[in-house]
Amino acid sequence: MSAEIIDGKAIGAKVREEVGRDVAAFTERTGHKPGLATILVGDDPASEVYVASKRRTAGELGIESFHHALPADVASEEVEALIERLNTDDSVSGILCQLPVPDHLDGVHLTGLIDARKDVDGLTPLSAGYLALGREGLRPCTPAGCMVLLAEAGVDLSGKHAVVIGRSNLFGKPMAQLLLAANATVTIAHSRTADLPAVCREADVLVAAVGRDRMVKADWVRPGATVIDVGINRSDDGLHGDVDFDAVAEVAGAITPVPGGVGPMTIAMLMRNTLQAAEMIAREGAVA
């Protein structure tokens, strides 16, 4: 194995430690803690685990946690009313509506109701617009975490060719925007891309986010390229990413593992976003 392993677990711990110090300083300066409100509709086991982890991390870092568990058959109007209340609650810095929601609800619609200043997932239309225009705002956690991983790995993106496999609103598009803002030349590849392996071989930085187990093979990767694997796929032989790790690690210059790569960064960046939201709201209040 020749590639440097980009240790997301260690880097995520470093981010959380920095956020914890900054949260303590914010609390001392303002007299109140940042607050994260989580909304969980139904009893999806995976979602319950994710939300519990987010709430636990918030508590460890000194962020107030406000949890709202709603029944699976809750009316959309009730969830909408809750979001509106949280939008105007001064103790709440960030709001997270855990996805997916039950089929009778529209997750995109509900997320879009969150005040952009409190949109710690960075997924509202206004947040997406701020990102596209390069204006200050809250960025989606997983793409933002990937940018931190690249920085910690010492990757200078300016002038480099980055290829993102995947065009989702949740990851692919914001990832491409963040890379572009860092002066990379960006290609978004997807299921309709002609000769996908050849496109990937052009990348100095290859980011895979398609949800297909070990799809990216060694001959898709330029020797020495940096590979960021966002996929998490469960199979009979364990947990794997979208990249054939063992084979690609023989070719790449640096690579993230699965697990222990991108995953730990997402919650760390959520905590950073919650603090950033609190800072922005406090600043606006001071101006007013």
DSSP character string of 247-288: HHTTT-SEE--SSSSSHHHHHHHHHHHHHHHHHHHHHHHHH-
For the segment 196-200, the average pLDDT, to the nearest whole number, is 98
Provide the residue ranges of all domains of the chain, joining segments of one domain with +: 31-115, 141-263
For the beta carbon of residue 50, count every other beta carbon within 10 angstroms. 18
pLDDT tens column, 207-233 = 999 999 999 999 999 999 999 999 999
Contact status, residue 92 vs residue 114, Cβ threshold 8 Å: no
Q: What's the confidence (pLDDT) of residue 1?
A: 61
Nearest to 95 by CA among 112, 120, 116, 117: 120
Average of per-residue pLDDT values in the chain? 96
Indicate the pLDDT class of residue 2, thresholds 50, 70 and 90.
Answer: confident
For the segment 163-185, the average pLDDT, to the nearest whole number, is 97
Active site residues: 54, 98, 121
Rounded Cα gap, residues 18 and 110, in angstroms: 31
Contact status, residue 279 vs residue 25, Cβ threshold 8 Å: no
> What pTM does this model have?
0.95
Q: What's the confidence (pLDDT) of residue 276?
A: 98
For the segment 269-285, the average pLDDT, to the nearest whole number, is 95
pLDDT tens column, 80-94 = 999 999 999 999 999
Q: Do the domains at 31-115 and 141-263 have one common CATH topology?
A: yes
β-strand pairing of 254-255 with 4-5: parallel
Indicate the pLDDT class of residue 288, thresholds 50, 70 and 90.
Answer: very low
Q: Which residues contact 276 (CB under 8 A, 6 or more apart)?
A: 138
Indicate the pLDDT class of residue 286, thresholds 50, 70 and 90.
Answer: low
CATH number at 141-263? 3.40.50.720
For the segment 231-259, the average pLDDT, to the nearest whole number, is 95
CATH number at 31-115? 3.40.50.10860
Nearest to 38 by CA among 99, 97, 114: 97
Q: In this prediction, what percent of the chain has a pLDDT beyond 90?
A: 96
pLDDT tens column, 11-24 = 999 999 999 999 99
Query: What dihedral angle (degrees, nearest 10) is formed by the CA atoms of 132, 137, 141, 142?
Result: 20
Indicate the pLDDT class of residue 285, thresholds 50, 70 and 90.
Answer: confident
Indicate the pLDDT class of residue 284, thresholds 50, 70 and 90.
Answer: confident
